[in-house]
Amino acid sequence: MDFKEWFCLNGRESFTIDPKVNPDDARFYFGREEIKNRIKAQLRRSFVEPGVPKMVIYGSFGSGKTQTLFHLEYYLQNERPEACRQTPRILHLDLEMHSKSDHKGWHLQLVETLGKSTASTWIDRLFSRTQNLDTELRSIFGNVNMAEAAKNLRAGGDIGLLAWRWFCGYELKPNELERLNVTRSLGDLGSGDMVNALVGIGRLAERNEEKLIFLMDEAEQFKNVKTGDATESLHTYLRKLAEPSNSSVGFIIASYALTLDDMAELLVRADVRTRIGENNFVEIPHLPSIRDVQIFLRELLAELVEQNKAEEKIQNESLGVSLETYPFTAEAFNMLCEFASQDPTKALPRNLIKAVNECAISAWDERKPIIEPDIVNDIAPLIFG
């Protein structure tokens, strides 16, 4: 018998949840009903036309920011808000910023996350539905150069790739610009032009019945930018993306920060905050009380343990524990909750999941079918002490 069978795990090797490794884990959002409902309500409101989500979530390491992003994707895909008329096209990216990163690097990450093939498919579909692609693209992008470059995305080979490089913001040579029939590179007019191109791509998505929403994790990376000019260009890019006039490209940014002031400064400048809206800055808190910890752990165990198998095991082996806390005895479960709640800053989902795993591994080492208080007493101080 292996670890998975020993603890009646539900199609998984351990008690760890990680939507990056196992996409099905995105459906979990244990405990924290209040914050979950608040974010979902904000999301629903954000789609009321003309609108898209523009949100910043923040919290400490291990508070569940990444899980929140993946869960919101799951929510949008499976319970699409009524106000969202198109199918959400959700794109995840982990932001990467270096000391000299500027708006061009950010734009490149966003556009590359979307990918050339998606954009080309959208243009192809538009072409099959319209009588005049040129006019249609000009109405979508509101700019002749963008419309010309977009038209070239349909082409295969060099020219299609060149058009994509143009949208990515690469500086092209004069003869390359001539081949695309455009008068300048995208970045020549600064970050506003790049945002316009991205918003244009968002409108293209809408014409294809899709809504473009970027989920950007690790926004603390903005703190790596040390150059003043680069910071300003990133700030301008964000401010323009947050403008009410952008109703085509949504974004949810997640950042490590204990408080709002702890975030990268460009994310919380007054002009950005007013555009995004104070209500759309949401803290993902630790679990504030012992009751929250209990709910989190009960929900986690209920999902990760195969209930029928566990019930059978409890009865057959006369384990004397309730299904609600299995594989913990009631006393061990309460002890773990108490340990976790002693220092509220450590009552974090990542720590709780780690504690459950380590307690289970410890019981497995001794081939104990259940986790008793002595194990919790050994393990919990290592994590919450």
Partner 1 sequence: MQLEYTEIITANPVQRFLLRFYLSDFPMQNLILISPFVGTLEGSRVTLDGVCRKAVERGILIYVITRPPEEEYHQQAIDTFMSYDQVELRFNESLHAKLYICICQDESQSFALLGSANLTRNSIEKNIEIAMMIYGRGHGREILRELSRWGLERLRTLNDTKLVKKIKCQRR
107 vs 275, which CB is nearer to partner 1? 107
**Choices 82-90, 161-169, 189-197, 358-366 (CB under 8 A): range interacting with partner 1:** 358-366
- Is residue 11 part of the contact set for partner 1 (CB under 8 A)? no
- Is residue 311 part of the contact set for partner 1 (CB under 8 A)? no
Q: Is 253 helix (H, G, I), strand (E, B) or coil?
A: strand
Separation CA 261–CA 221 (nearest Å): 15
- Is residue 362 part of the contact set for partner 1 (CB under 8 A)? yes
Strand 87-94 and strand 54-59: pairing? unpaired
Binding residue for partner 1, selected from 11, 174, 228, 385, defined by CB under 8 A: 385
Classify residue 157 as exposed, middle or buried by CB count within 10 Å of its CB (0-12, 13-18, 19+).
Answer: exposed
- Is residue 145 part of the contact set for partner 1 (CB under 8 A)? no
Separation CA 36–CA 209 (nearest Å): 27
170 vs 364, which CB is nearer to partner 1? 364
7 vs 328, which CB is nearer to partner 1? 7
- Is residue 170 part of the contact set for partner 1 (CB under 8 A)? no
In whole angstroms, how close is the CB of 18 to partner 1 at the nearest point?
6
Separation CA 303–CA 333 (nearest Å): 16
Edge-to-edge strand order for the sheet containing 87-94? Answer: 87-94, 210-217, 249-256, 54-59, 281-283
- Is residue 21 part of the contact set for partner 1 (CB under 8 A)? yes
Separation CA 283–CA 366 (nearest Å): 41
**Choices 10-18, 131-139, 194-202, 280-288 (CB under 8 A): range interacting with partner 1:** 10-18
Binding residue for partner 1, selected from 82, 261, 278, 365, defined by CB under 8 A: 365
Classify residue 113 as exposed, middle or buried by CB count within 10 Å of its CB (0-12, 13-18, 19+).
Answer: middle
- Is residue 361 part of the contact set for partner 1 (CB under 8 A)? yes
- Is residue 374 part of the contact set for partner 1 (CB under 8 A)? no
35-74 binders of partner 1 (CB under 8 A): 61
- Output Rg (C-alpha) for the chain, integer angstroms: 25
Q: Which residues of 278-306 are buried (b: 16+ CB within 10 A; e: fewer)?
A: eebbbbbbbbeebebbbbbbbbbbebbbb
In whole angstroms, how close is the CB of 340 to partner 1 at the nearest point?
15
Which residues of the chain form contacts with partner 1 (CB under 8 A)?
A: 2-3, 13-14, 16, 18, 20-21, 61, 94, 96, 218, 220-221, 256, 357, 361-362, 364-365, 378, 381-382, 385
